[in-house]
Amino acid sequence: MESLLEVHDLHVSFDTYQGEVQAVRGVSFDVKKGETVAIVGESGCGKSVTAQSLMRLISTPPSRIKSGAILFRGQDITRFTEKEMQQIRGSEMAMVFQDPMTSLNPTMPVGKQIVEGLIKHHKVSRERAWEWATDTLQMVGIPSPESRMKQYPHQFSGGMRQRVMIAIALSCSPKLLIADEPTTALDVTIEAQIIELMKELQKRLGTAIILITHDLGVVAEIADRVVVMYAGKVVETGTVDEIFYRPRHPYTWGLLQSMPRLDQEKSRELRPIVGTPPELIHPPPGCPFVPRCKYAMKICQQEMPDMACPTLSHRVFCWLEHPMAPTVHFVRS
């Protein structure tokens, strides 16, 4: 299938007083039309910075895209001017943020906030745009959209605000929706509503979704493919089945083992990943997971492993994949 987005060896750094923080260090992945790709990892692993770089939303300075290419429908958007970016931002690719409380403008009725994008990108009349926006609100499941259009964000609950955010993002029918922890700030029952909504809208509109999350449950529910990130690097990517049933990187094993599951007996012991992620001011030369990895070998500290491809869709960055490495099996308890 055709790639909608290709990210090649992306490096993003922040210049701080303490030095250069290398938040994203050579990330590559692709997103095909209409599929859902989840990017998972812990806080500080660079998943949000990656997402914001795709939209060119990171402010320069302090941050900058050091190298790499982001091909969106074949065009490298890292070379786009701000004006060119504005053409596609919102209309071709749109974003839903984590915190629905702070990402809407509190001084503007929500209707006006949806209409803004429509008028800018589609050159339609205010009346037409208003109708269009009302339909979009209806589509995301907000009851009595006509009157809701005139209300302010504080009159909406958290879940409703996230629906408004999704309405704004989808109003111009983008090809790609980037959702950065869209349900993290919400309660479980509301999270279930938003996930259902995103699944349904994707089926209807055929939008590709990049979902950024740390919740593997949400990933299992909605993703087609998964990108696992650690300390600014991709450590493993594959289809959702490969990542959950045939994971090959010790960090992915650690993630799967450290989470309790609702459908399991509680006698199963949680196996946490010991230690904490490295500082990205002085990233280690080798694999960043070494200090927390119980299978670490001498080579792991010295050099980053090459990419291994167990299957066509599965990519792993681990020295254990080397033909001369000892065989280690993952046991999912």
Partner 1 sequence: MESKREKILEVKNLKKYFYLGRNQTVKAVDDVSFDIYRGETFGLVGESGCGKSTIGRTIIRLYSATSGQILFNGEDVSKLKGEKRKQFNRKMQMIFQDPYASLNPRMTVGDIVAEGLDIHGLVSGDKRRETVVQLLRTVGLNEEHADRFPHEFSGGQRQRIGIARALAVEPEFIIADEPISALDVSIQAQVVNLMKRLQREKGLTYLFIAHDLSMVKYISDRVGVMYLGSLVELAESEELYAEPLHPYTEALLSAVPIPDPKIEKKRERIVLKGDVPSPINPPSGCRFRTRCPKVMDVCSEKVPVWQEVKPQHWVACHLYSTSDPS
Please tell me whether residue 281 binds partner 1 under the rule CB under 8 A.
no
Among all chains, which residue has been given the structure tokens 């209707």? 111
Closest CB to partner 1 among 83 and 266?
266
Q: Give which of 262, 226, 257 is closest to 241, Cα–Cα.
A: 226
Q: How many residues bind partner 1 (CB under 8 A)?
A: 44
Please tell me whether residue 304 binds partner 1 under the rule CB under 8 A.
no
Helix, strand, coil share (%) of the chain residues, nearest 5: 35, 25, 40
Closest CB to partner 1 among 234 and 273?
273
> Of the listed pieces 18-26, 125-133, 192-200, 280-288, which binds partner 1 according to CB under 8 A?
192-200
Closest CB to partner 1 among 40 and 169?
40
Task: State how far Cα 144 lies from the chain centre.
Answer: 32
Please tell me whether residue 273 binds partner 1 under the rule CB under 8 A.
yes
Nearest distance, CB of residue 79 and partner 1, angstroms: 35
Closest CB to partner 1 among 174 and 278?
278
The single residue among 256, 287, 300, 320 that binds partner 1, judged by CB under 8 A, is 256
In degrees rounded to 5, what are phi and psi of residue 264? -120, 155
Nearest distance, CB of residue 219 and partner 1, angstroms: 7
The single residue among 62, 206, 272, 310 that binds partner 1, judged by CB under 8 A, is 272
d(CA 6, CA 169): 21
Strand partners, 208: 176
The single residue among 51, 88, 160, 167 that binds partner 1, judged by CB under 8 A, is 160
Closest CB to partner 1 among 125 and 189?
189
Dihedral sign, Cα of residue 156, residue 158, residue 160, residue 165 = positive
Mark residues 198-237: x for contact with partner 1 by CB under 8 A, - for none: ----------------xxxxxxxx-x--------------
What the block records as the tokens of 194 is 């938003």
How is residue 34 annotated by DSSP? T
Among all chains, which residue has been given the structure tokens 């509503």? 193
37 phi-psi bin (left φ>0, alpha ψ -120 to 50, beta other): beta
Query: By the 8 A CB rule, do 260 and 327 touch?
Result: no
Q: Give which of 148, 155, 143, 156 is closest to 130, Cα–Cα.
A: 148
Contacts of residue 67, defined as CB under 8 A and 6 or more positions apart, other chains included, come to 9, 10, 11
The single residue among 106, 260, 323, 326 that binds partner 1, judged by CB under 8 A, is 260
The single residue among 247, 250, 254, 305 that binds partner 1, judged by CB under 8 A, is 254
Interface with partner 1 in residues 52-111 (CB under 8 A): none
The single residue among 2, 82, 127, 263 that binds partner 1, judged by CB under 8 A, is 263
Closest CB to partner 1 among 190 and 325?
190
* Amino acid letter, residue 222: I
Among all chains, which residue has been given the structure tokens 């895209």? 65
Closest CB to partner 1 among 115 and 211?
211
What the block records as the tokens of 245 is 């049933």
Nearest distance, CB of residue 325 and partner 1, angstroms: 23
Residues that bind partner 1 (CB under 8 A): 42-43, 157, 159-160, 187-193, 195-196, 214-221, 223, 240-241, 244, 254-256, 258-263, 265-266, 269-274, 276
